[in-house]
Structure 1
């Protein structure tokens, strides 16, 4: 069996990318999980456990007690069915393209090949991975509502979590913002827009006032972003809108900032007579603070040095991942150990092919270190 060679890794990545797996389609994500289970059984010599918390498929491999290192990733993507027809899997000029390649199917391929290489390097392959747990989920792109409790339970069992999400231009993700999406609802009063608009209370105009107030809740100095996004108002073009609403995306590096913004939304007051406001609080993921990753990042830097790699960089990012949930239960967590490339959730999503074996080797070295196999 070829272990950690670029052609074999690309072939496995093509298999996964060509199985479209949008989060909302449970049948599609299950098909992709079945392919990944077969791939893992081939490379690691053992079948995973099949779990279906909340109706979403999850795969778990547990080697020995599985209480040292949790490797975490997801198979679902943001791309709808049919994306492959216009963005097919391809390798050109050193770049791999295709929906979900960067976020985050290549990370899972690198993980399997890294662990297979560890097994192949030991005379006792049965015990090489003793202490490792792999958990692969299928609803991360919507905040992991089905898998979240399972993810946190597995994190509590382990001493470290390594997340195979994509890197940020090669940098590991040593901190992440907490994220939440709230909704502001405006209630007004409908009226005919031509005959007697003065009898109405225009919810759209009230919403415009509130959006201007909402953006003031951001704090660029602290990295807190407050972004009005999906917006709607009214029922017909010739009617004063009786209702309007806006989604508010909030990202912050601290729980205190999340709470401050939420309180600011609750403190909003209507400007126009006849209108009223209601805030619908969404679920918020906690931040992944730098202290959750600092020790693991130092060990990753040492692992890279042993392999003769360029020094690793760490970066704090605004996007969330399942690493936010594992850090929240107190387990040291290092993220961004997957793909090198760019374009997550974008038309130019891509992976730099030549980096795949090197990043797999880094993961193998780090896992071996955390299992005590490196002096």
Structure 2
């Protein structure tokens, strides 16, 4: 029994030993449970495309642009009707343009307003209307609108409207208008109108010719005096010098001062020598026959056309000559000069039929018209 118990005890001991030891003598390692590693996935943010919006056109600018386009289209339409002799229909459209633009504060729109007023005035005073009152009313719309403007371009349109009223005014009113404009632009704080002032002075001198020649000389001297010791002269000054030579002959004053200026500063002009020689012939014809001088003039200047010269003041002066022989002699030379002017100008004219002229104009898109100033080149004093 004991033996049996010992056997059982040995078996139990062996089992306990087996349970606690590795038979292959490998070190026993107790493995800790592996921690669960969670890798955080980095999610990159979605890149948003940055869209830069186009600059928004303000409602005000959009309205202005649309009105500008509309008015230009109406001007083209009105011009087309005028070219087709549909004057009344054109007037209706010009009225629409004026009504749509008269309250605008935008310079470009106001220029179109003025353009419509000028066109309307033109239709009123040409044949068959001859409605001078309506034409003057159109000009008044411009002068009243722009008189107190600070914008140079609008002030120039104001001047243009005032000057274009001149054909409907007396000489005294014309001179008063020139004086008003000269004073207004002379007082400009920014001195932006020196060229226009000269042109107005020149226009005033033309209006004075035949009425007060001495004052006309003074006005032209005012232009000339600004350019002492200047080698390059504007055209207004060139014509002022030539006009003062003519006026000095008419008023029996000395011409040498102006002749010297012309020879010194105007020798590059193709007009200078023909006109100086012509005036010298007329001056000397008061006392002597000028046949030889005239023949030489014709040889040297046979193609000269006097394109910007008018002989009316010299004719008025010659008509008042007390000595009939002198009067006849001067008229003979004036006749010869004017005959050459007539012949040469006619040869240079390119004729077009009215239809061709209208077709050309009607095919053109609207184009803003430049401001018309008193013409310093037109020696027309009638």
TM-score with structure 2 setting the length: 0.24
Q: Point out the structure with the larger helix share.
A: 2
Q: Point out the structure with the larger strand share.
A: 1
TM-score with structure 1 setting the length: 0.24
State the structure with bigger RCO (CA 8 A, min sep 6), 1 or 2: 1
Q: Report which of the two structures shows the higher radius of gyration computed on alpha carbons.
A: 2
